[in-house]
Structure 1
Amino acid sequence: MRRPGPAVLRRVCATLVVGVVSTAVAGCGSVVAGEAVRAEPDLSGLDVGNYPTEPVEFGAAEDNEAARYREGQRLGDFVALPFEADPGYVDRIVGTGGPVVLDRRDMQALVVNDTFDEVAADLVAGWVHTWSTEGDPGSVQQLSIAVLMFPDAATAESVAVGLERDDFTFNADNRPVQLSKYPQGKAHWRPGNASLGSWTAHDRYVVFVKYDDRSGRADLPAMVQRTESLLDIQMPLLDEFEPTPPEQLNEIALDPDGVLALTLPKSPQTIAMFGPPDAFRGRGAVYALTGITNLDFLDTGQVTGIALGESVVVRSETLRGAEALYENFRPGTNDSGGSRVIEAPKGIDGKAECFSRQVAAYENPSSFCVLRTGRYFAQVEGGQIQDLHQKTSAQYALLLHG
């Protein structure tokens, strides 16, 4: 597996589908013994081009790095998003790290010292992201959070102390700060700078939080409050997470819910640029979804799985949940960039609409289709209309295996 870099998937696609099962009955109320047989879908009216219509079996991680990366994805579902603590954080900042953390490179500029890999040598996996308030980049408030997982609580405590010590000594002007609600936390700031960094051990985890007010107006009590409010959300989430046992890590399933198999597969070139495909059950997927400022869609959509491949597939527990996802994500409800309706492909059983984004809202013109079929919602990105229709039709065909 090529090691994924810090780049974030910039395009979003999501798809939903439900398998069709037929049961055999005979006569008036008589039942034929045997297992139900899946009805073969009729794809004769679909133009799928050269895109695959059969699911790919992902199996288990092929090496330790792939296993750690997958464990980082699992952890991502339990890492708080800043807008959960304060709805004012509406903009996801790219290029600041991760989201999966395997070593210092994935923390990027959030870690200023060069001892991270030495101090955190026993790192299993981590997850990191940064969000900001809306406005001019030079005056916004930024809030970053990283959760790093270690083999045990003793190691995590040692790492938290070591990383804070090295952050603290990196600049002689730094001063220690006490987090009253989290006395185990190690925090510091530099007087005159509206920035606060902290490392807090919690069981086998180390939680890093950095608050940065680019306007320079925040005082120390405000920065402490911001940090503690995010920790208030984060700590209970970690108590819910169940790490993969060490002896089972290298056998970790890459697609445990079977949703990733239903996405259009990423090309090797895309994997090299943006990282391998992802499988989530909740908030972890938000790192790659645009326009999300709360987690309401997880409840209203009754989401049971989210997969990010060349498309994004979201599975709902119910048909009603899938319909809610469709209405929430189709343009007109949350597409601030604007879009216009274009022709949709034929032969899709369910709902399917396609749109072209306004060039002014994006660096390059782009088109996409959204569809709902059964318990699945999907969005597929494409360039030329024919190619977009073929990809969307292939995505629909894949979903029929769900």
Structure 2
Amino acid sequence: MATGCGIGTGDSAEDPGVDVAALQTGNYRTTPRTPEELRTPATIDIQESLRLGEYVPLIMETSPKLVFSRVKYQKKMFTRVDPPNIVDNFSTVAPGFVAGWETIGQRREDELHGRSVDLTVMQFTTSEHAAAAVKALADGIWHSRYPPVGTLPIPGYADAQGQARQYGAISAAAARDEFVLWTYIGGGVDIPPNQNELADLAGKVFDAQFERLQDYDPTPENELAELPVDRDGLLGYALPASDGVAEAVLSANTALHLLQRPDLTKRAFEDAQVDLVVFGETEFYRAGDDRAADRLHAYFMTQLDSEYRTVDDPPGMPDAHCVENPDTTGSLKCLFTVGRYAAIVAGTQIQELHQKASAQYTLLDLAP
């Protein structure tokens, strides 16, 4: 497997293959943003959710066979302005919501082909708000388009709201202090489905999550707007996102929730000594050194679906790898490395992709 650019950050002149000054970046920004520019409503709003996400275990930690995650069309971070959509009018029926995080684990890539667990962790301003939210969620689901077919107990959680759903699935909600957990567990392919077994699994998922939350210290409400939005100044080197799109710097463990194969990626992160990940208009990963970034780049190449085909690389970036699924609109991607950073850039048409990749390369060439 060919590796990425593999140059030393800030030393691109030593690599005759890349002349950063000659890259065709179009109208995309190529100078780092200032800390003031990074403090947008979108980046400020998600910070408590990101803090909460640090204390959410992956589903595979409870159920080792559930190694796939579902990332397409899924939100992982929830805020006051963008709350969970578990029930209609969430903010009205569940007042006091502060932040939330969603994690998903499933047996196979398609959630309909095996067991799947969806867990949403929610923080409220008070324990009273949390307890009321559990009842409101349960009631809202009873009046939803796809209501439950019955109730069921959740072992170890006498005050939980457990519901038997259609096709063998279950859902359950429970509160502890100012936190609410809600889970939906698919029935999988068991015939007949054993919903009591799923209720046992819900209890184990709740146990693991509530235990982890004991180490979480919520930010006081009057300090939420002051939370920092960056780590190690990395976000300034990301290609600016479209207006209103949240950008985030995450720890490696938190970033695993946003990737399709957290089991494989966790091993790749450990091998490459990844400590921070940036998600926004583009995504990039800070590895331990240049060689580690090359190994991580090679891993990401192996994870591309077999349908992807090679397309032209950006002019002046001979070691980049650009691909497209010819059967899927908007599937263009370029993967490359810049020193200790492994980057993935997506686009909808080839010129846009090339310019975005060139601009992100230029920015990362300046990163520490």
Same fold, TM exceeding 0.5? yes
1:352 equivalenced with 2:319 (yes/no)? yes
Kindly tell me: are residues 321 and 184 of structure 1, through their superposed partners in 2, closer, same or farther at Cα, counting changes over 3 Å?
farther
Within 5 Å, give how 1:153-192 maps onto structure 2. Answer: 153-164=127-138, 167=141, 174-180=150-156, 183=157, 186-190=160-164
AA partner of residue 276 (structure 1): A
Cα distance in 2, alignment partners of residues 15 and 207 from structure 1 = 44
Secondary structure of the 1:322 match is helix
- TM-score where L is the length of structure 2: 0.79
Whether contact under 8 Å (2:67, 2:262) holds in the other structure is: no
Question: CA, structure 1 residues 262+15, in 2 after alignment: closer, same or farther (shift >3 Å)?
Answer: farther
CA distance in 2, matches of 1:55, 1:209: 40
What amino acid is aligned across from residue 174 of structure 1 in structure 2?
G
Match of 1:48 in 2: 25
Give me the TM-score of the superposition, normalised by structure 1: 0.73
Q: Secondary structure at the match of 2:21?
A: coil
Is 2:290 aligned against 1:325?
Answer: no
In structure 2, the partner of 1:279 is 249
Rounded Cα–Cα distance in structure 2 between residues aligned with 1:42 and 1:191: 59
**1:115-159: per-residue Cα shift (whole Å, max 9, x none)?**
743452111111224454337665543321101012344543443
Aligned partner of 1:388 among 350, 353, 358 = 353
Pairs within 5 Å for 1:38-187: 43-59=20-36, 61-62=39-40, 67-86=44-63, 87-92=65-70, 94-95=72-73, 98-102=75-79, 106-108=83-85, 110-111=86-87, 114=88, 116-134=90-108, 140-164=114-138, 167=141, 174-180=150-156, 183=157, 186-187=160-161
Q: Could you tell me how far apart the structure 1 residues matched to 2:58 and 2:5 are?
A: 24
The equivalent residue for 1:248 is 223
State which structure, 1 or 2, has the greater radius of gyration over its C-alpha atoms.
1
Which residue type is aligned with residue 400 of structure 1? D
The alignment partner of 1:128 has SS state of strand
Shift of 1:390: 2.8
| Higher share in helix | 2
Distance (Å, rounded) in 2 between the aligned partners of 1:252 and 1:15? 35
Aligned 1:200-349 pairs, distance under 5 A: 200-213=174-187, 215=189, 217-268=192-243, 271=244, 275-286=245-256, 288-290=258-260, 292-294=262-264, 295-330=266-301, 333-345=302-314
Distance 1:15 1:226 in 2: 45
Aligned residue identity for 1:239: Q
Partners of 1:45 and 1:116 in 2: CA distance: 51
- Cα distance in 1 between the residues matched to 2:141 and 2:349: 50
Is residue 2:344 matched to residue 1:379?
Answer: yes
- 1:15 and 1:154 map into 2 onto residues whose CA distance is 54
In the alignment, is the contact (CA less than 8 A) between 1:306 and 1:314 conserved in 2?
A: yes
2:321 counterpart letter in structure 1: C
Q: Are 2:293 and 2:341, in contact at CA under 8 Å, matched by a contact in 1?
A: yes
Alignment gaps of 5+ in structure 1? 1-13, 22-40
Percent identical across equivalent pairs? 24
- 2:14 equivalent in structure 1: none
Q: What is the CA-CA distance between 1:52 and the residue it aligns to? A: 1.3
Query: In angstroms, what is the RMSD of aligned CA positions?
Result: 3.7
153 and 70 in structure 1: CA distance in 2 versus 1, 3 angstrom threshold: same
Maintained 8 Å contact 1:259/1:315: no
